[in-house]
Amino acid sequence: MRKYGTILLEEDDGIAIVTVSRPDALNAINEAVLDDLGIVFASIKLNNNIGAVVLTGEGKAFVAGADITAMSIMGPLEARAFMKKGQEVFSTIEEFGLPVIAAVNGFALGGGCELAMSCDVRFASEKAKFGQPETGLGILPGFGGTQRLQRLVGMGNAKKLIFGAETIDAWESYRIGLVQKVCQPESLMEETIAFARLVASKGPVAVRLSKAAINAGASTDIRTGCAYEAEAQSIAFSTEDSKEGLTAFIEKRAPEYKNK
């Protein structure tokens, strides 16, 4: 395990486990956390042995939010710069070439909810809590929350959560589509890592292209999205992995992918 300031990075048989590590502050996001997340994901990008990423928090919180103490002394320009930095880092995670699965072990409020939403899939402990409480503080979600939440749970649900500064539990988060699986607390990491291994066992180029196509389609009309999909498929068919996957199916054996 390596420590990058406020972030722990562990490689476990082809899976990168990224842990936000400010447990005394419930892993609250400050400038250092944002900088360290950027550094860690840049390092993972250079590691060809990684097939998927798991993102979690140390202790009893995933990420309880942005660091309110630091934010309380910010002026308008400082706040804007902080929000822009957070948006850039979270977009890096959202657009990252590998699937990123959040293991939400506790509080995921404010910036923590926004960080979880930048991941591709969210697994949550039954003890997890989600919410965007910013309007209760006289501000609004600033790390992409007003945009990602509505795309994940629909405009009405997003407005209800943001306007009311509501906190919801894991099962309600699952009901509205914010979370894809709810786990017992003691099995959260095991189940999340198992899913990450499942993803990593598939054709790696195909998984990356699928993520890019899904993300691109989310912000355009269906015809443009399908055109992007067709181009991505043509790239997939040019790879050695596609030939291996199709041949293995015909020969009734497990494929041996080479990420080529």
- Characterize 40-75 residue by residue with b for buried, 16 or more Cβ atoms within 10 angstroms of its Cβ, and e for exposed: bbeebeeeeebbbbbbbbbbebbbbbbbeeebeeee
Pair 132, 125: CB distance under 8 Å: no
Pair 118, 148: CB distance under 8 Å: yes
Separation CA 103–CA 77 (nearest Å):
33
Pair 235, 209: CB distance under 8 Å: yes
* Residue 58 is a catalytic residue: no
Catalytic residue among 58, 114, 186, 244: 114
248-252 contacts: CB < 8 A, separation 24 or more? none
* Residue 10 is a catalytic residue: no
Catalytic residue among 134, 166, 244, 256: 134
Separation CA 24–CA 39 (nearest Å):
22
Q: Please list the active-site residues.
A: 114, 134
